[in-house]
Amino acid sequence: MKFKLENVESKRTQELANLIREYNRFNREPSKSEPLNIYMEDERGDILAGMVAETFGNWLEIEYLYVRDDLRGKGIGSKILEKAETESKSRGCKYSFVNTFNFQAPNFYKKHGYKEVFALKEYPYTGERYYYTKVL
Mean pLDDT of 18-25: 91
Q: Is position 78 within any domain?
A: yes
Domain-located, residue 129: yes
Q: How confident is the model at residue 10 (pLDDT cuts 50, 70, 90)?
A: confident
Q: What is the mean pLDDT of the chain?
A: 96
Query: Would you say residue 6 lies in a domain?
Result: no
| Domain CATH number, residue 52 | 3.40.630.30
Q: Residue 68 belongs to what domain range?
A: 31-135
Task: Tell whether the model's pLDDT for residue 6 goes beyond 90.
Answer: no
Residue 69 DSSP symbol:
G
**pLDDT for the residue numbered 9:** 84
- 20 within some domain: no
Question: Does 11 map to a domain?
Answer: no
Q: Is residue 128 part of a domain?
A: yes
pLDDT above 70 coverage of the chain, percent: 100
What is the helix, strand, coil percentage profile of the chain, to 5?
30, 35, 35
| Contacts of 78 by beta carbon, 8 Å cutoff, 6+ apart | 108, 112
CB atoms within 10 A of CB 38: 16
92: left (phi over 0), alpha (psi -120 to 50) or beta: left
Q: How many structural domains is the chain composed of?
A: 1
Phi, psi for 42 (deg, rounded to 5): -90, -175
Residue 118 lies in a domain: yes
Taking residue 15's Cβ as centre, other Cβ atoms within 10 Å add up to 9
Mean pLDDT of 100-128: 97
Q: Record the pTM.
A: 0.87
